[in-house]
Amino acid sequence: MSQKETNNLKTEEPKRERTTSAPCGRLKSHNVNGVQEGKPVAKDQFSGRTLGVFTSGGDSQGMNATVRAIVRMGIYLGCKVYLIHEGYQGMIDGEQNFKLATWTSVSGIVGLGGTVIGSARSSEFRERSGRLRAAKNLAKAGINSLVCIGGDGTLTGADLFKKEWKSLLDELLEKNELTNEEFENNKFLNIVGIVGSIDNDFCGTDMTVGTNSALHRIIEAIDAIVTTAFSHQRCFVMEVMGRHCGYLALAAGLASEADWIFIPEHPPEPNWEDHLCKRLQYHRIAGHRLNIVIVAEGACDLEGNPITSEYVKKVISTRLKIDTRVTILGHVQRGGATSAYDRVLGARLGSEAVLALMMSHDESPPFVIGISGNQPCYIPLVEAVERTKNVAKAMANFEFRKAIELRGASFERNLETYIKMSKLQPKLLVDDSSRHYTLAVMNIGAPAAGVNSVIRSFVRQAASIGCTVLAIQDGFEGLAAGLVKELEWKSVYGWTGIGGSLLGCQRIDAKKIGFGNIAAKLKKYNIEGLLIVGGFEAFSSVLQLSEQRENFREFCIPLLCVPATISNNVPGSDFSIGCDTALNEIVTICDKIKQSALGSKRRVFLVETMGGYCGYLASVVGLASGADQSYIFEEPFTINDIIEDVRHLKEKMKSELKRGLLIRNEMANKHYTSDFMQNLMSEEGKGVFSARANIIGHMQQGGVPTPFDRNLGIKFGNKALVKMIELLNKTARENKLTEPPYMLNKDSSLVVGIRRSQIQFTSVFDLVEQTDFEHRLPKHQWWLNMRPLIRILGKHEAVYKSEVMTKDEDVEEFIEDRDEKEDEDAATLY
């Protein structure tokens, strides 16, 4: 294929205006019901109150975790909680579907897919007569506070129900179907919604409960398809769910290195068949043995005509004569175990929903509890429903740009990243009109899933602008030994989905190898920018090299760190690459351990997690696996606390739940080791329960990267490269240098991080103050806020404090931060 032809393959995206998407009114009516962020909520504070919870629409993984949190938080606050079975239909059918929940009614369900209380699509509820019957049954049972878990339809129905409530009750009173007392006691309906749907199609929340697990299913399926596609050199057209929303297809496309995606919000150009075939052909020429095309079930062309997977297959097989198969994933996507993310999301949103409901007063508007930038938030239901409807309207009017904006910032950024990645091509002929730098990448620390995704993304983008990327194998040790080789476009194909470290990594930081030694090697290979992917050592190495710039000119280059460690202890980022995969691995193991306890009975398991001094894994696993307790370094505990836990476990053994799960971080306490604790539990629990310790070790560093780690890896790699080139170009321009630019600037030594879903760069020098170097920890760790929840949901006493942001100035700042479109330069770099 000639250069001209390859150039033609670039399908130019229409230049888009970078607009700031409105914040969906989210958080604006944040404080109408009087919840205050950080204000302690006491046990039994709402004694005597009643609430009901139901699940409706298509089920989704995480609904059970949400219901569990609602029931337990409700009971903790002193409320009566009714489980309303079979959604709206159950409400219509009668009181036999309302079951008073106990603590144990929701035991053992935290990781189960689906919904144990049943879900339904009810056509009767769409009619006023159906809603009248539902209102009657609720009022008779004294339930006028509801947590509604479902998709956009469910919440639209809830909105209508709330609006009509008064007139429904008036009618019931008039017809003598309610007594005066029933009427008076239930005059107002309070509603809080949680979006439970795999589709992620509800405006105002970044993620809906279930979407992440569905993505897990899709990626598992694509990974499996890839092996057979590779063997037969086939093309697979994979159809995924999502109804009219393309989120699942988009996120799956990114995570699987798909050749092409079709989504409803971004229809292809009219002659897309030509472009598709050219792209697939081009990838084959570049050495790919297979192609993956993802079709969202709602995909359509610019005129709104459906694009079916069968049609896509026909185009590919007839035009390219490639053996092509269609796989329609179907309901598999809605099944299977709940991912760690969805379990934690369900727990956070469920608990906040109860609190919001209890704080509601008679005239409170209905809310949805969503998540925005990793922060639970209140979204006015009416506005959110309106906005969600507007997406459908925009698509019906062919206003696709508007539809994308309405979907929200997270959707928009994913789409931008996908488009960017899919348009990249190796720059075959390097013209000399611009600088083409030699960059290097290494991985230090311990292995973490997703590292290879960072490197692929970095290399592909570098190659597309004619830069050379050198791979330093085995970290600084490898550099000293000269283990350096060029990474080409082709060499990183398929890396996104591979766990472990393909470059090889070592723990040894820069200082230990010797600065002179490193400088000599950087000079030898003419390295003009260095990306270090890894854990705390990656951060400290960037700092060490930067501090040595006065002594070594070779270090006066952009030095960037991408945090990648299962411990999640790198300052400058809320999440490190690899911690989501580790969490899912550990949670899966805990599920199995709990199953074993179910069989052996009266057994307490202590699971020791990695993480160094950082209690992130132990805490989040504690929440996601429904543990009784989680011991971490950051929250000191005494022998009395452990003895109190023994007492709690002895009590628990008297109930039908004859098992216990304790999670202990490896460095939680120097003296109270896992061995010690197992012995203590065995001795103190004698005659009531037996205790076993499981140190799960290096399994935690393995595993196939989760969609979250893959996609964050792509974004981090992408941003790191863009930043590096920006720094190099700027310095080259300013200094008119032809040799490696001389950088002493603190802003050329950066950690790439994510905060409130925004990718940010922070100078390592600015992070020094924020770091506890002795224990290798950031001084502020966002997830510590979730600690009381682990205790409350495990039936311990704790003081819960709302995570929802309620102070006006915080909200304004948050919205500004969140919607700010960072690095404009980056967008125009290519």
Ligand X SMILES: Nc1ncnc2c1ncn2[C@@H]1O[C@H](COP(=O)(O)OP(=O)(O)OP(=O)(O)O)[C@@H](O)[C@H]1O
Ligand Y SMILES: O=P(O)(O)OC[C@H]1O[C@](O)(CO)[C@@H](O)[C@@H]1O
Helix, strand, coil percentages in the chain from 3-state DSSP, rounded to 5: 45, 15, 35
- Asked whether position 151 contacts ligand X by CB under 6 A, the answer is yes
Give bridge partners of residue 378 from the DSSP assignment.
369
- Choosing from 37, 86, 199, 554, the residue that interacts with ligand X (CB under 6 A) is 199
Distance, in Å, from the CA atom of 766 to the CA atom of 738, rounded to the nearest integer, reads: 30
Binding region for ligand X (CB under 6 A) out of 4-12, 153-161, 234-242, 287-295? 153-161
The residues, ordered by sequence, that sit 6+ positions from 823 with a Cβ below 8 Å of its Cβ are 719, 722, 723, 726
Q: Is the dihedral of CA 666, 670, 673, 677 positive or negative?
A: negative
Distance, in Å, from the CA atom of 334 to the CA atom of 340, rounded to the nearest integer, reads: 15
DSSP symbol at 425:
-
- Asked whether position 153 contacts Mg ion by CB under 5 A, the answer is yes
DSSP symbol at 300:
B
The encoded tokens of residue 286 equal 């570049």
Smallest CA-to-CA distance from 111 within 589, 566, 487 is with 589
The encoded tokens of residue 759 equal 């990718």
- Asked whether position 160 contacts ligand X by CB under 6 A, the answer is yes
Binding region for Mg ion (CB under 5 A) out of 148-156, 227-235, 489-497, 539-547? 148-156
Give bridge partners of residue 752 from the DSSP assignment.
761
Binding region for Mg ion (CB under 5 A) out of 147-155, 165-173, 359-367, 591-599? 147-155
- Asked whether position 157 contacts ligand X by CB under 6 A, the answer is yes
- Asked whether position 558 contacts ligand X by CB under 6 A, the answer is no
Q: Is the dihedral of CA 249, 257, 404, 816 positive or negative?
A: positive
Q: Is 242 annotated as a binding residue?
A: yes
Least Å distance, CB 540 to ligand X, is 46
- Choosing from 217, 313, 334, 460, the residue that interacts with ligand Y (CB under 6 A) is 334
Q: Is 122 annotated as a binding residue?
A: yes
Q: Is 673 annotated as a binding residue?
A: no
Cβ atoms 414, 464 nearer than 8 A: no
Least Å distance, CB 415 to ligand Y, is 19
- Asked whether position 151 contacts Mg ion by CB under 5 A, the answer is yes
Least Å distance, CB 156 to Mg ion, is 9
SS3 state of residue 817: helix
- Asked whether position 264 contacts ligand Y by CB under 6 A, the answer is no
For every residue of 791-804, DSSP letters joined together read HHHTT----EE--S
- Choosing from 30, 131, 243, 594, the residue that interacts with ligand Y (CB under 6 A) is 243
Q: Is 159 annotated as a binding residue?
A: no
Q: Is 468 annotated as a binding residue?
A: no
CB atoms within 10 A of CB 813: 12
Q: Is 776 annotated as a binding residue?
A: yes
Q: Is 319 annotated as a binding residue?
A: no
The encoded tokens of residue 115 equal 């919904």
Q: Which residue has the tokens 């005059």?
A: 187
- Choosing from 86, 159, 199, 585, the residue that interacts with ligand Y (CB under 6 A) is 199
Interface size with ligand X, residues (CB under 6 A): 19
Least Å distance, CB 241 to ligand X, is 9
CA atoms within 13 A on the CB side of 709: 36
- Choosing from 31, 61, 97, 154, the residue that interacts with ligand X (CB under 6 A) is 154
CB atoms within 10 A of CB 433: 5
Q: List the end-to-end C-alpha distance of the chain, in Å, as a whole number.
A: 23
The total number of residues shown for the chain amounts to 830
CB atoms within 10 A of CB 161: 22
Q: Which does 558 bind (CB under 5 to 8 A by kind): ligand X, ligand Y, Mg ion, none?
A: none
Cβ atoms 618, 630 nearer than 8 A: yes
SS3 state of residue 206: coil
Least Å distance, CB 198 to ligand Y, is 5
Least Å distance, CB 88 to ligand X, is 4
Q: Is 154 annotated as a binding residue?
A: yes
Cα torsion 635, 699, 249, 415 to 10°: value is 60
DSSP symbol at 306:
B
Cα torsion 279, 282, 284, 287 to 10°: value is -130
Cβ atoms 690, 604 nearer than 8 A: yes
Distance, in Å, from the CA atom of 663 to the CA atom of 590, rounded to the nearest integer, reads: 9
Residues 449-468 that bind ligand X (CB under 6 A): none
Least Å distance, CB 197 to ligand Y, is 5
Q: Which does 126 bind (CB under 5 to 8 A by kind): ligand Y, ligand X, Mg ion, none?
A: ligand X
Binding mask 470-509 for ligand Y (x = CB under 6 A): ----------------------------------------
- Choosing from 113, 118, 242, 611, the residue that interacts with ligand Y (CB under 6 A) is 242
Q: Is 774 annotated as a binding residue?
A: no
- Asked whether position 62 contacts ligand Y by CB under 6 A, the answer is no
Least Å distance, CB 82 to ligand X, is 19
Q: Which is nearer to ligand X, 57 or 408 (CB)?
A: 57
Q: Which is nearer to ligand X, 67 or 724 (CB)?
A: 67
Binding region for ligand Y (CB under 6 A) out of 195-203, 578-586, 644-652, 694-702? 195-203
Binding region for ligand Y (CB under 6 A) out of 241-249, 314-322, 483-491, 628-636? 241-249
Q: Is 611 annotated as a binding residue?
A: yes
The helix (H) or strand (E) run that includes residue 663 is strand 659-665
Least Å distance, CB 339 to ligand X, is 17
Smallest CA-to-CA distance from 62 within 158, 157, 198 is with 198
Residues 16-75 that bind ligand X (CB under 6 A): 56-58
Q: Is 666 annotated as a binding residue?
A: yes
Distance, in Å, from the CA atom of 137 to the CA atom of 635, rounded to the nearest integer, reads: 47
Q: Is 810 annotated as a binding residue?
A: no
Report in angstroms the alpha-carbon separations of 57 from 119, 144, 153, 468, 552. Answer: 6, 21, 7, 51, 63
Residues 97-126 that bind ligand X (CB under 6 A): 121-122, 125-126
Binding region for ligand Y (CB under 6 A) out of 109-117, 193-201, 218-226, 378-386? 193-201
SS3 state of residue 32: coil
Which among 59, 199, 206, 628 is annotated as catalytic?
199
- Asked whether position 58 contacts ligand Y by CB under 6 A, the answer is yes
Distance, in Å, from the CA atom of 562 to the CA atom of 542, rounded to the nearest integer, reads: 10
Beta-strand runs (E) in 138-245: 145-150, 190-197, 209-210, 235-240
Q: Which does 334 bind (CB under 5 to 8 A by kind): Mg ion, ligand Y, ligand X, none?
A: ligand Y
Least Å distance, CB 24 to ligand X, is 18
Least Å distance, CB 199 to ligand X, is 5
- Asked whether position 88 contacts ligand X by CB under 6 A, the answer is yes
Residue 59 annotated among the catalytic residues of the structure: no
Smallest CA-to-CA distance from 650 within 697, 682, 608 is with 682
Distance, in Å, from the CA atom of 573 to the CA atom of 586, rounded to the nearest integer, reads: 22
Query: Which residue is at the shortest CB distance from Mg ion?
Result: 151
Report in angstroms the alpha-carbon separations of 706 from 96, 183, 577, 671, 709. Answer: 41, 51, 10, 35, 5
Binding mask 577-596 for ligand Y (x = CB under 6 A): --------------------
Binding residues for Mg ion (CB under 5 A)? 151-153
State the residues that interact with ligand Y by CB under 6 A: 58, 151, 197-199, 241-243, 297, 334
Catalytically active residues are 199
Binding-site residues sit at: 58, 121-122, 151-154, 197-199, 234, 241-243, 297, 325, 331-334, 507, 565-569, 603, 610-612, 666, 692, 698-701, 776
Q: Give the residue ranges of the annotated binding site for ATP.
A: 58, 121-122, 151-154
Task: Summarize as ranges the residues that interact with ligand X (CB under 6 A).
Answer: 56-58, 88, 121-122, 125-126, 150-154, 156-157, 160, 197, 199, 243
Q: Residues annotated in the binding site for Mg(2+), as ranges?
A: 152
Residues forming the annotated binding site for substrate?
A: 197-199, 234, 241-243, 297, 325, 331-334
Annotated binding-site members for beta-D-fructose 2,6-bisphosphate: 507, 565-569, 603, 610-612, 666, 692, 698-701, 776
